[in-house]
Chains A and B, each alone.
Chain A
Amino acid sequence: MNDQVAIAGLGVVSAAGSGVESSLETLRAGRRPDCTICPFAKLPVELPMFAVAGGAQVDRTFHLAVQAVGQALADAGLSPLPDGFRLGVCLGTTVACQLNDIPFYAEYRATGNPSLEPVERFAAGSLAERIAREVRATGPVLTIVNACSSGTDAMGVAMSWLKAGRCDAVLAGGADELSPIPTVGFYALGLTSPEPCKPFDRTRRGLNLGEGAGVVVLEREESAKRRGRTCDLFAAGFGGASDGYHLTAPHPEGLGLELAIRAALREAGIEPADIDFINAHGTSTPENDRIEGATLARIFGAGVRAISTKGATGHALGAAGGIETVFTALALREGWIPPSIGFEERDEAIPFAPLTEVTPTIRRHALSTSLAFGGNNSALVLERREVSP
């Protein structure tokens, strides 16, 4: 059986743009979208964040996901779904998996008799379950709640499903909205920056939260061919590994990240030298960027070509891996690597400086990495193949 996994469709919404075209425009210009100041937390500092303009305020994560899913399905020629088509849904999130509605709890505390409307919404299903109902998917369904690596982990699960023959295609990615709980939580952990983030920069002070959704249609190549589709992008390899070290601090030597990257390269059947560029996790926290930078340089050499796109989106948590997969795929397709927004000054503790100009691609493979709270690490290898006319 041909177990090649094609990327048949792309959908993305973030502060960098709604849809592929506007996102590309932002990324190519190297222009940081306007940040807003966090409106919903009472903290002694103002925290910049990357919001998506407009859209529903209630049930926002679901609506962000619906937008990206609609784009991805249309791009894949799967809107509407063909009869008998087995579509799976695997989406990551952090905010939408928790019944963390503050007004609900405040009313519960105050009156003991709150409106159950937020509970009803939660009980209507997880993010993936609701999207599966929305698009009438009949394949396997899972919501990944692996903190910041959720979106990339969803790609790995989807690839496992497709290789095991469980379905023809999978909507894979992630979605998350800006919310007071992670805002206050990340502030409490000392990880937020009072200024726009600067991934890998010497003066970086922390992350800015963002929101959005990034979804791809991963499809078995033979299924895409049966539908008459020609695919130029492929999910070639995935690796996941635990630091097995600490709940909030990354492993000091990046052990789990290295294991994840090497597993992804192995599954793709390639060597580190085959990787053109890396869309790094690059949150702009001092620890993440130092350890990730050292690990990438150890595997790929100090000449590694790496960027972080979080300067254009903020850290969209469960959506980050989905959004960054879409951006990585677009860069391979377009033939240029976007600049790393926010970087100005080299950090001597990091063996490389990220790319700061639009740079042509020269190889077929790229890597996207995600590191999560609790020491979960994920790596995804994407490949561009020439399409014969």
Chain B
Amino acid sequence: MNLAGVGIVFPGGAGVSALRDVLAAGQPLKGERLEKEQVPVLKVPAAALTGNPVLAPARRADRFCKMTLLAATEALAGCEVPPERIGIILATAFGPHGTVFKFVNDLLEFGDEQASPTVFSQSVHAAAASMVAAAAHLHGPALTVADLAMPFEEALVLADAWLEGGRCEAVLVGAVDETSDVLAHVVRRKWACSPDGVARFSSEKQMAYVPGEGAVFVRLERTAGPRISVENEPSSTAACHLFNAGALGSDDAELRRRALPSVPARTYVSLLGSTRIGSAFHLAVAWLMRRENRFFPDVLPLASCGFPGGEVGQEGAGGSIQVISACGPRCRAITLHALEERRPGP
């Protein structure tokens, strides 16, 4: 399968152009402390979720739906596949839990009889993907999956099967999660938060978490764009490894064990925050590096965390780039293949 388009909303703003600007600046984003929980969080700026004409069908929608619609629409731009042949797979860990808690809050506040049908309908995990289908008039299969381990990687593999099996000619695969007061509360109680508001690779000495949020969509087709695949182990021939570090609730020690001394390694978790959608975010970063044929500045060098890998320069991101995630003992490596590498023959 090939990566034909990308769309993104993240704490640095909406759109690939915002991602490029933040990457080029080379500075970590700093979470703002929630007044209630005194936990730093990296939220998508309100300005990114207002005023965009893409959001017209979602004017009454929640943040989760709006983030989804913005990112999916950007990834879909320029797609020439008929709408009945375009599928959607949305992967999430926690779903629109802010809306779920709003619904529960309203029940407690106003009683069961006053429950809002609008809030209920948006609290359903599948609502966001449905909104994308309705806004873009897509008629292919739409699927929402929710797991805590690596649902984005599983969604990519499933999309490959849909493309190879002829179920679709293009698949929008997305990863979406949001932060909330309740999530921040849980993070504060269960794990230690980063004291300076910067999400980072965690170690025994450094507290890493800053709850983050965003939506990342990739458009997969059979031929357009660079080839991608999902493997079980990092490759020693990759030009660069992007480590999906600081994922909410994960243990970065497993990632450290996967590091290969011969391959330069980076993480851009400080631009997203601690989420379960970091692999999708890092895939967007890899795609942008490839498109611009340059490695963006390292924001928080992993060498400071004892990583063995060497440095890459700023130029020549034409080799294969791998996004490495780990959950428990399981590892997945999403490979954005080298430019010269073509699809295997039939």
Residues of A within 8 A of B (CB): 41-44, 94, 97-100, 102, 105-106, 108-109, 112, 116, 119, 123, 125-126, 128-129, 140-147, 153, 156-157, 160-161, 163-164, 166, 180-181, 184-190, 239-248, 255-256, 259-260, 263, 372-376, 378
Contacts and interface: CB of A to CB of B under 8 A. Distances in A.
Contacts of A187: 112, 115
B233 interface: no
B117 A241 contact: no
Given A98-B95, A142-B147, A185 B138 contact: no
B134 A247 contact: yes
Contact of B161 (A108, A163, A186, A263): A163
Question: Chain B interface mostly helix, strand, loop or mixed?
Answer: helix
A109 B102 CA distance: 12
Interface in B119-160: 120-127, 129-131, 133-134, 136-149, 151, 154, 157-158, 160
A160 B162 contact: yes
Given A129-B148, A187-B112, A242-B139, 9 more contacts: A102-B107, A142-B154, A161-B158, A186-B120, A240-B167, A242-B88, A242-B142, A247-B121, A247-B130
Interface in B202-231: none
In the A-B complex, the 6 residue pairs with the smallest Cβ-Cβ separation, listed nearest first, are: A374-B130, A240-B141, A185-B120, A242-B133, A145-B125, A188-B115
Given A99-B94, A105-B101, A145-B126, A126 B148 contact: yes
A5 to B, nearest CB: 12
B182 interface: yes
Contacts of A98: 95, 97, 100, 123, 125
A128 B133 contact: no
Contacts of A100: 100, 103-104
Given A99-B100, A105-B105, A146 B165 contact: no
Interface of A (DSSP majority class): mixed
B120 A189 contact: yes
B97 A43 contact: no
B140 to A, nearest CB: 7
Contacts of A160: 158, 161-162, 165, 167
Nearest to B93: A126
A102 B108 contact: yes
A55 to B, nearest CB: 24
B84 A259 contact: yes
B185 interface: yes
Contacts of A260: 141
A128 B141 CA distance: 21
B169 to A, nearest CB: 13
A171 to B, nearest CB: 15
9 contacts: A145-B92, A164-B161, A166-B157, A188-B115, A241-B84, A244-B137, A245-B134, A255-B139, A374-B129
A43 B121 CA distance: 19
Nearest to A101: B104
Contact of B126 (A125, A141, A146, A185): A146
B140 A241 contact: yes
Q: Which of A128, A143, A145, A248 counts the most chain B CB atoms within 10 A?
A: A145
Contact of B143 (A125, A146, A256, A263): A146
A184 B119 CA distance: 11
Nearest to A259: B139
A374 B142 CA distance: 10
Given A99-B94, A116-B186, A160-B158, A373 B139 contact: no
A263 B139 CA distance: 12
A181 B103 contact: yes
B190 A116 contact: yes
Nearest to A119: B186
Given A142-B145, A242-B142, A376-B130, A185 B186 contact: no
A379 to B, nearest CB: 11
A65 to B, nearest CB: 15
Given A108-B185, A242-B141, A129 B127 contact: no
A374 B124 contact: yes
A71 B143 CA distance: 27
Contacts of A108: 182, 185
Contacts of A119: 186, 190
A94, A180, A243 interface centre (most CB from chain B within 10 Å): A243
A164 B148 CA distance: 24
A378 B97 CA distance: 26
A184 B130 contact: no
Contacts of B101: 105
Given A42-B113, A242-B88, A376 B142 contact: yes
A370 to B, nearest CB: 12
B33 to A, nearest CB: 16
B116 interface: yes
A116 B189 contact: yes
Contacts of B162: 160
B141 A241 contact: yes
B325 to A, nearest CB: 15
A265 to B, nearest CB: 14
Contacts of B84: 241, 259
A373 B123 contact: no
A146 B144 contact: yes
Contact of B127 (A164, A242, A374): A374
B337 to A, nearest CB: 19
